Amino acid sequence: MPITTHSNKIVFRNTLEEGVKQQDEEIDFGQRMINSIDVQFVDTNLYMSKELWLPFGSRGAFGGQVVAQALLSGWNTVEEGFNVHSLHAYFILACNVEIPVIYQVERIRDGRSFVTRTVTATQKGKPIFLLTCSFVKIDDNLNMDHQVNIYCIYIYICYKVLIYNYYRLICLMFQVLKTFHRKDQPVDYREVHNLSPLEIMKGESVATTVNRRWFKTRGPLTDDMRLHACVIAYASDSGFLNTAAKANGVSYTSPSVGMMTSLDHSIWFHKPTRADEWLLFDKYSPRSINGRSVVLGKIYTRDGCLVATAAQEGIIRLSEIGQKKLQKKLDLTDSKL
């Protein structure tokens, strides 16, 4: 039999042991973002990750990357003319960056207006992640349109202030992290309210239920709106659960935190938008109890248009140090009663 080759040759790469490139080397961050969420066609309804990224201090691959790759896998089985309008995901096991992820797509429904897909991500034959996503046919008819008002002037001021604070903090003590950020992150994140260097080192700060950040890709993307939706899914998982930690006056760097990991993740896409232009992620955490926390978030364009809403529940467990601190605080409160 003749030997045949396939143009879609499978090549898997992880960034676990990837060397840092020269600082003066030009990096195409737009292409890096595309590569990060791209998947390889294997067979009908079957796809594989091309890249996986292990964030600093994480025990598994970045969850947002798995969400984006699973979404793209499902979207690849949907005919043109449909946009994603919602997704709901469950993180089951930590994703090992040293082996590829297999994405199995199940075609639940193909309707005239809505299409539903379920995507199961597996490694070594075990499910590590489950995604259900729904797509809606693009509708050019007149429809109801409303959103809760947000003050555009406030957004504009925050946009200006965050850039100043970001570089001020970097210049103070995080030149090394700046280099790491530039080399490793295809998405540019800018916090509206930066923690002080002391708060970052201690992992503790004044408790606040609100956490806002701007984000966009570090390079321009193509006009494929599937790509932009997948990038929003990718970025929505970054720092999301940390909002709940901050609501309790700590962060993932705190010795009081023993475990922090996502359980599930949901996004509702209201309107297609570009992810290579600044978007504001306005997050808040309404509740933490029994070792679990819930975080809600809204994503706005610079002109104040609400384009997506997200929600996540995760595990945040105290370390022994954190439990002792909390017990001491509770005892002190009881003594004052």
Which tens digits make up the pLDDT trace of 47-103? 999 999 988 778 899 999 999 999 999 999 999 999 999 999 999 999 999 999 999
Lowest pLDDT segment from 47-61, 147-161, 202-216, 271-285: 147-161
pLDDT of residue 158: 57
Check residue 15 and give its pLDDT.
56
Look at residue 337 in the predicted model and tell me its pLDDT. 61
Is the pLDDT reported for residue 311 higher than 60? yes
Q: Active-site residue among 49, 65, 238, 262?
A: 262
Spatial separation of the C-alpha atoms in residues 310 and 215, rounded to whole Å: 15
Tokens (6 digits) for 118: 């379920």
Place 322 in a pLDDT band, splitting at 50, 70 and 90: confident
pLDDT of residue 138: 82
Question: Can you point out the beta strands (E) in the chain?
Answer: 13-14, 39-43, 46-49, 51-52, 82-91, 102-110, 114-123, 126-137, 187-191, 210-217, 257-269, 279-289, 292-301, 306-318
pLDDT at 46 over 80: yes
Residue 8 pLDDT: 44
**pLDDT at 224 > cutoff 80:** yes
Question: Which pLDDT does position 161 carry in this prediction?
Answer: 52
237 in catalytic set:
yes
* pLDDT tens digits, one per residue of 121-131: 999 999 999 99
- The angle formed by the CA atoms of residues 260, 323 and 254, to the nearest 5 degrees, is 45
Residue 262 bears catalytic tag: yes
Give the active site residue among 69, 188, 205, 237: 237
Q: Which of 224, 36, 44, 45 is nearest to 118 (CA)?
A: 45
Tell me: pLDDT of 17 over 60: no
Tokens of 325: 């601190």
Contact yes or no for 130/117 (Cβ under 8 A): no
- Specify whether the CB–CB gap between 129 and 100 falls below 8 A: no
Higher-confidence position of 94 and 6: 94
Q: Which of 19-33, 95-109, 165-179, 189-203 is most confident? A: 95-109
- Report pLDDT for 166: 52
Average pLDDT over residues 270-275: 96
- Give the mean model confidence (pLDDT) for residues 115-122: 98
- Tokens representing residue 288 in the block: 């933490």
**Secondary structure element (H or E) that encloses residue 2, with its range:** none
Q: How confident is the model at residue 197 (pLDDT cuts 50, 70, 90)?
A: low
Residue 237 in this model has a pLDDT that exceeds 90: yes
Q: Do β-strands 13-14 and 51-52 pair in parallel, antiparallel, or remain unpaired?
A: parallel
Across all residues in the chain, what is the average pLDDT?
82
Nearest to 288 by CA among 249, 256, 258: 249
pLDDT of residue 292 exceeding 60: yes
Is the pLDDT reported for residue 19 higher than 70?
no
Closest C-alpha among 279, 265, 218, 198 to residue 33: 218
* Share of residues in the chain with pLDDT > 70 (%): 76
DSSP, collapsed to helix, strand or coil, labels residue 175 as helix
161 or 198: which leads in pLDDT: 198
Helices within 131-261 (DSSP H only): 152-173, 175-184, 197-202, 225-236, 242-247
Q: Among the listed ranges 31-40, 140-149, 233-242, 285-294, which one has the minimum average pLDDT value?
A: 140-149
Alpha-carbon distance values, 253 to 153, 201, 223, 245, 294 (Å): 33, 8, 38, 10, 19
Residue with structure tokens 């930590």?
94
Tens digits of per-residue pLDDT, 132-189?
999 999 877 766 666 766 655 455 545 555 555 554 544 444 444 544 444 567 899 9
DSSP-derived pairing of the beta strands 39-43 and 46-49: antiparallel
The more confident residue out of 314 and 142 is 314
Assess whether 312 carries a catalytic annotation. Answer: yes
